[in-house]
Structure 1
Amino acid sequence: MSNLFKDIYSQEFYDQLSEIMLVTIPSFDKEAFTQLIFNDNFIHYELKERMTHTAKVLHHFLSDDFEEAAETIKQFIENLRAAGINEKSIEFMFFPEYISMYGIDHYEESISAFEFVTQFTSCEFAVRPYILKYKEKMLAQMVLWSKHPSNKVRRLASEGSRPRLPWAMALPSLKKNPMPIFTILDTLKNDSCEVVRRSVANNLNDISKDNPDFVIETVEKWQGCTKETDALIKHASRTLLKQGEPKTLQLFGFDSKNIMLSNFDILTPNVKIGDALEFSFSLTNQNKTCKKLRLEYGLYYKKNNGDLSRKVFKISEREIEPNKVYKINRKQSFKLITTRKFHTGIHQLSIIINGQESQIKNFKLVR
């Protein structure tokens, strides 16, 4: 069994899909569909390419009239549900991809399709070209979706309007000015569904990267509303907290005045690739009251060109009692992973207390 994510698009998947297609379109030609799917390039397609390819092949078997095609997709989904087939990952996102590819000039029909389809598989990527083309009308529609009975449609309102949604096209106008989506976020901040509230937090975190003051003002407005909203704004502020933004740290009660860092020691000054860096340090609260701390460390990885690039890792958030010494020990793995290439040589490590970095030390990565 393959461990590659792209192999969710497998022979087994398309066989199952074909069986439901036959129920939906009696004239469906399974053999022709299979031949078109598994062309000479299929094995080389990555995940997104396979998703797009599936939408394009599907187009051969649907009406050229988009309204009719959209109705067939809805019936297809109904038949999948009737067969007890639900999305396990993101394998059915070729449906919204189809809408985005072939419905962009059919606004009303696309809106109806998105509202239906997103309750089966998320349309967060597919709505973004519509925001670019029909900005005011589309954002007004998303305000309506933010009040929809389905939590999946409500989530689409927030997730689809994220200015920096990962793996999706950016929304430049919303990166520049996020105010047009504030109504959506404000409507959803107390949503009964945690997944929706988490989407609002992620949207605000996106915004913080281009408009930090907007998010800080929102945190001030929403802080203390409910326990759930407090959790939302904390998650929304994670980038600002990691950056050590002073106002944000203050809003969440972090205070490092008279906190003493001592005995910072790298226990493994030479680390082999595949092993772990080990380090320790101590903290003392020299105040007469408890202090709330956000503890992190910065790891300066050596890049291919010899420069160092810092990545911040969170240790914990904690309150420390007055006149008490806390000893912290940590390990950082250098096990080989696909998402990072390690380069031997001098690396650096620092301790970060409430966003303030101190005592950078060297260690060496070796083979």
Structure 2
Amino acid sequence: MATQAAPALKEIFDRARLQHIATEMAAISPAFDAGRFMALAAGNLDDLGIMQRLRQTAVSLHGALPENFEKAIEALYELAPRIGHGFASIVLPEFVALYGKAHFELSMQALKFFTRYGSAEFAIRHFLVEDFERTLGVMRSWAHDDNEHVRRLASEGSRPRLPWSFQMKQLIFDPTPTAPILEALRNDPSLYVRKSVANHLNDISKDHPEKVVDRMSSWNLDDKYTAWIVRHALRTLIKKGDASALGLIGTTGKPLVRVEAFAVTPAAIVLGGQITLKASIVSTAEASQKLVVDYAVHYVKKAGGTSKKVFKLKEITLPPGGQKELSISQVVRDFTTRKHYPGHHQIELIVNGETLAGGGFELRG
């Protein structure tokens, strides 16, 4: 039986969702023009992607609400808990980003409130561009807030390379202004917050690897929350075999091992099929070794050539002469972020950043 494709992300803002927003908004504010909102928000909807629909919905709210920003925000405060969908609720911070720059204090309060329903990480970046120091000062205070959503916003909104948003070039060049935020959150008890801090640090590691390693070298890695952040923050550097990053998580440097019976099966699949990697790693060292084992797939590109992506396999500790059997399976299917093309896909087995074995499989059209 064929599996039904998941709905496109843009369908988060489908006509039913827009009608729901219109109905709820009309119940809150008699001055809200629900008909005008639907005419504006649903116009040309099929041709728009998710972020375009998000923007159009925010613009449409502005077109159907009173022009006074303060009164509009009061109504949107009531709407926030009624939308009922995390991503759809991002329309409220988007409204603030579009129309609140002349009302800084009110906008900061609104973003702090709205982020509890739908993250304000995209919206706050517009204020960073408009008034960097003032906005970052507010975000530093948010890092100490009691609410995990607000604390996360402090880190996520100031990431240098936030996905789905524009890059903060100023922070790519010099990431030190966000250091107080990261220091405040380095052992946060919330996994939601810790993931953001790790991603923020991983962003920085792409441009300033030495700064990231130096900073985290002074942290207490005996703290389980801090150790979690460090391990995930260093993932890009670890995949590259960065010696300082590997040393920080306790690996033993150059791997003294041999790889036996590395295999990729089956030899050929079609899209949607599954491959399995198996390997036996044997220690040749006289002391125990902590090893990070990854694998890389060289995906065939549409125009020819390949693009390499590294995946985590396992972290292991091998005693002298010890042996470890490893196995992992992966389904090869298309995603919104990656489309597959027929051809030979090379696979590497990587231990502590060194490629020690290779194989591959054929993807047939």
With structure 1 as the length reference, what TM-score do the two structures score? 0.90
Question: How many angstroms apart in 1 are the aligned matches of 2:201 and 2:209?
Answer: 9
Which residue of structure 1 lines up, in the alignment, with residue 138 of structure 2? 141
**Correspondence 1:28-177 to 2 at 5 A:** 28-39=32-43, 41-77=44-80, 81=81, 85=82, 87-177=84-174
After superposition, the C-alpha distances for 1:94-128 in whole angstroms (9 at most, x for unaligned) are 11111101112332221122122222221110010
**Correspondence 1:256-335 to 2 at 5 A:** 256-335=254-333
Question: How many angstroms apart in 2 are the aligned matches of 1:338 and 1:161?
Answer: 25
Residue 131 of structure 1: how far off its partner (Å):
0.7
After superposition, the C-alpha distances for 1:262-318 in whole angstroms (9 at most, x for unaligned) are 222344334444433344322111234332111111111222232122111211112
Which residue of structure 1 lines up, in the alignment, with residue 10 of structure 2? 6
Q: Which moved more, 1:342-351 or 1:327-336?
A: 327-336
Percent of aligned positions that are identical: 33
**Partner amino acid for 2:169?**
P
Which residue of structure 1 lines up, in the alignment, with residue 28 of structure 2? 24
Q: Which moved more, 1:151-160 or 1:268-277?
A: 268-277
Aligned residues of 1:87 and 1:121 also touching (Cα < 8 A): no
Q: Equivalent of 2:225, from 223, 228, 248?
A: 228
Question: How many angstroms apart in 2 are the aligned matches of 1:86 and 1:321?
Answer: 55
Does the residue aligned with 1:125 lie in a helix, a strand or coil?
A: helix
Residue 130 of structure 1: how far off its partner (Å):
0.9
Residue 357 in structure 1 maps to residue 361 in structure 2: no
Number of corresponding residues: 360
**Correspondence 1:189-268 to 2 at 5 A:** 189-224=186-221, 226-255=223-252, 256-268=254-266
Residue 224 of structure 1: how far off its partner (Å):
2.3
Question: How many angstroms apart in 2 are the aligned matches of 1:64 and 1:56?
Answer: 12
Aligned residues of 2:115 and 2:150 also touching (Cα < 8 A): yes
Tell me: CA distance 1:343–1:35, structure 2 relative to 1, closer, same or farther (3 Å): closer
Aligned residues of 1:264 and 1:282 also touching (Cα < 8 A): yes
Q: Which moved more, 1:348-357 or 1:2-11?
A: 2-11
After superposition, the C-alpha distances for 1:220-250 in whole angstroms (9 at most, x for unaligned) are 0114251111111111111111111101101
Q: CA RMSD in A?
A: 2.2
Question: How many angstroms apart in 2 are the aligned matches of 1:226 and 1:58?
Answer: 46
After superposition, the C-alpha distances for 1:301-353 in whole angstroms (9 at most, x for unaligned) are 22223212211121111212332332333434334555433333333121100
Tell me: CA distance 1:362–1:25, structure 2 relative to 1, closer, same or farther (3 Å): closer
Does the residue aligned with 2:102 lie in a helix, a strand or coil?
A: coil
**Partner amino acid for 1:305?**
A
Question: How many angstroms apart in 2 are the aligned matches of 1:335 and 1:122?
Answer: 29
With structure 2 as the length reference, what TM-score do the two structures score? 0.91
Tell me: CA distance 1:337–1:19, structure 2 relative to 1, closer, same or farther (3 Å): closer
Aligned residues of 1:242 and 1:312 also touching (Cα < 8 A): yes
Residue 59 of structure 1: how far off its partner (Å):
0.7
Aligned residues of 1:303 and 1:343 also touching (Cα < 8 A): yes
Question: How many angstroms apart in 1 are the aligned matches of 2:315 and 2:78?
Answer: 50
Does the residue aligned with 1:93 lie in a helix, a strand or coil?
A: helix
Q: Which runs of 5+ in 1 are unaligned?
A: none
Tell me: CA distance 1:148–1:281, structure 2 relative to 1, closer, same or farther (3 Å): closer
Residue 209 of structure 1: how far off its partner (Å):
0.8
Residue 21 of structure 1: how far off its partner (Å):
1.4
Aligned residues of 1:223 and 1:233 also touching (Cα < 8 A): no
Q: Which runs of 5+ in 2 are unaligned?
A: none
Tell me: CA distance 1:274–1:194, structure 2 relative to 1, closer, same or farther (3 Å): closer
Question: How many angstroms apart in 1 are the aligned matches of 2:79 and 2:268?
Answer: 59
Residue 166 of structure 1: how far off its partner (Å):
0.5
Question: How many angstroms apart in 2 are the aligned matches of 1:43 and 1:267?
Answer: 42
Tell me: CA distance 1:156–1:335, structure 2 relative to 1, closer, same or farther (3 Å): closer
Following TM superposition, the consecutive aligned residue runs of length 4 or more in structure 1 with deviations greater than 6 angstroms are: none
**Partner amino acid for 2:49?**
E
